[in-house]
Amino acid sequence: MKILEGELKSLKQEITAMFLLVQSQMEKVNAALIKFDKDLAREIISTEKRVNAQELNIDRECENIFSLYQPVAIDLRLVLAILKINNNLERVGDIAEGIAKFVVEANNPFHKDLLEKTGIIKMFEEVLLMVDLIETAFTNEDTALARSMFVRDEVLNNINMQAVKNVADYIKQYPDNVEEALFAVSIVRKLERVGDQITNIAEEIIFSVEAKVLKHSKKKQKQ
Amino acid sequence: MYKIETTNINLFYGNFQALTDINLLIKENTVTALIGPSGCGKSTYLRTLNRMNDLIDDVRIEGKVLIDGKDIYEKKVDVVELRKQVGMVFQKANPFPKSIFENVAFGLRVNGINDQKYVAEEVERSLRRAALWDEVKDKLKKSAFELSGGQQQRLCIARALAIKPSVILMDEPASALDPISTAKIEELIYDLKKNYTIIIVTHNMQQAARVSDNTAFFYLGKLIEHGVTKEIFLNPVKEATQNYITGRFG
């Protein structure tokens, strides 16, 4: 094996570890929200430091590969893609931490009716599936699977667009729960952002494998 | 119109075919890097552009090489005139055992130019263009051998420029130089392309990526891929090109 191939293999292992770490953060924050588990929420906030440290570690590995091995062609595209995927994953980690902070700050458990009516439960299901699938797409260099993220993201976007109306309806029904209803709007917005981060990652996987730049292209062209 | 047009070039050394059906178009005022493993034909191709292969016994060339639209292999072509138009710089600096000044003036004198004022002006102009003037202006009468390897190579470039070529061929011009001298040669190539069409053979992938506008990948005597350098190094079309530039070859 060439030295660079060894370095790229190691880099892939590190970004896979980052995928799994962020996936775990999202799964835990889902559980913390539904079960109103403040201890679990605090654990997520604490683990965010590991996410940040791993981001820096991967950044440094990419820098080393650029400076020491000057990768080109498919190798260059892989390192560039991993650098950006890393950044997107770190932001997903930030979002998990942000939702965990709501759980810590909230005085009462989130009303099940609120989580359902705002679509948060559905969004979490979709986000957790997308995080899992995008990791598989990266590992298997599966650009068809990566492309399927653009369709899945539409589900999140649609729920997000309905969020204000749904929360308004909820507040009319439960006027005493305004504070947690507002938290819910923020959570919807954050989960919608996770969808965007995952589609960004999908674009990077496609760039890495097919050398096609989909950034800023229209959705139909992406699919 | 292209500066250089090579069409269906086949070249044989005796029974051995060194180049097969090479078709390559090169635009004026560009740098084209020829890359490929040793023995792939890139230097042989380079030498077809100023008929240096004519000097080798038992060589046979088929196809056409047009420079400025004229076939350089036509019988009436004066090879000496051709080589004035198409200058060449070699891997190892090869200054003549003469002074720095006389090395650059040599080509002019061989061509019968003896006007001292004109020769001095052309020597200075060539040394300036080769980015060497400031380093040698106070020691023009010193032997060229007193210069460092990198300076000697730039002197050879100045010598080539003095006869006012429009095409410069470079066969691994920086492979024997340290990184600072290499950087100077590369900067020089970048500056020279404003006025010259440059074709460079290099084994250094990063150098090809840094200095050239277009890259041609040769393998086993064939031109495998030719395109814009940025594309070749980001997304080569042919798998063989990708394997070569990423070091996975063979």
pLDDT digits (tens, 9 = 90+) for B119-162: 999 999 999 988 899 999 999 999 999 999 999 999 999 999 99
Given strand B197-201, what is the order of strands in its sheet? B86-89, B167-171, B197-201, B31-35, B214-219, B222-228
Q: How near does any CA of chain A get to the CA of B152, in Å?
A: 29
Over range A189-215, report the average pLDDT. Answer: 94
Interface test with B, best of A66, A68, A72, A77 (most B CBs within 10 A): A72
Q: Which residues of A touch B231 (CB under 8 A)?
A: none
Q: How far is CA B146 from the centre of its chain?
A: 24
CB neighbour list of residue A83: distance below 8 Å, 6 or more residues apart: A58, A59, A62
Q: Which residues of A touch B209 (CB under 8 A)?
A: 72
Q: Is the ipTM of this complex over 0.90?
A: no
CB neighbour list of residue B240: distance below 8 Å, 6 or more residues apart: B217, B219, B224, B225, B249
* Closest listed residue to residue B157, CA positions, set B204, B107, B86, B87: B87
**pLDDT for position B58:** 92
**pLDDT for position A108:** 85
**pLDDT for position A212:** 86
Q: Which residues of B touch A4 (CB under 8 A)?
A: 246-247
**pLDDT for position A216:** 75
B4-95+167-245, which class in CATH? Answer: alpha beta
CB A82 within 8 A of CB A17: no
Percent of chain A beyond pLDDT 70?
97
**pLDDT for position B1:** 83
The Cα-based distances of B172 to A213, B182, B199, B208, B222 in angstroms read 35, 11, 10, 10, 19
Over range A139-163, report the average pLDDT. Answer: 95
- Identify the band that residue A45 occupies on the pLDDT scale cut at 50, 70 and 90: very high
pLDDT at A3 over 60: yes
* Closest listed residue to residue B120, CA positions, set B97, B136, B140, B139: B140
- Identify the band that residue B115 occupies on the pLDDT scale cut at 50, 70 and 90: very high
CA distance B198 to B43: 14
CB A22 within 8 A of CB A51: yes
**pLDDT for position A223:** 63
Q: Which residues of B touch A73 (CB under 8 A)?
A: 233-236, 241-242, 245-246
pLDDT at B229 over 70: yes
Give me chain A's average pLDDT, please: 93
pLDDT at A177 over 90: no
* Closest listed residue to residue B169, CA positions, set B178, B156, B155: B156
The Cα-based distances of A170 to A120, A121, A165 in angstroms read 13, 15, 9
pLDDT at A109 over 70: yes
Q: Is B246 in CB contact (< 8 Å) with chain A?
A: yes
CB neighbour list of residue B20: distance below 8 Å, 6 or more residues apart: B10, B221, B222
Chain-chain contact of B245 with A72 (C-beta, under 8 angstroms): yes
**pLDDT for position A221:** 61
CB A115 within 8 A of CB A33: yes
* Closest listed residue to residue B160, CA positions, set B106, B228, B217, B92: B106
Give me chain B's average pLDDT, please: 93
**pLDDT for position B100:** 97
> Chain A: residue nearest B236 by CA?
A73
Chain-chain contact of A72 with B209 (C-beta, under 8 angstroms): yes
Parse chain B into domains and list their residue ranges.
4-95+167-245
Q: Which two tokens stand for residue B87?
A: 């200058």
What pLDDT, in 10s, does the model give residues B197-227? 999 999 998 899 999 999 999 999 999 999 9
Q: How near does any CA of chain A get to the CA of B210, in Å?
A: 12
Q: How near does any CA of chain A get to the CA of B209, in Å?
A: 9
CA distance A73 to A210: 11
pLDDT at A217 over 90: no
Q: Element (H or E) spanning B88, and its range?
A: strand B86-89
Over range A139-166, report the average pLDDT. Answer: 94
pTM of the full predicted structure? 0.81
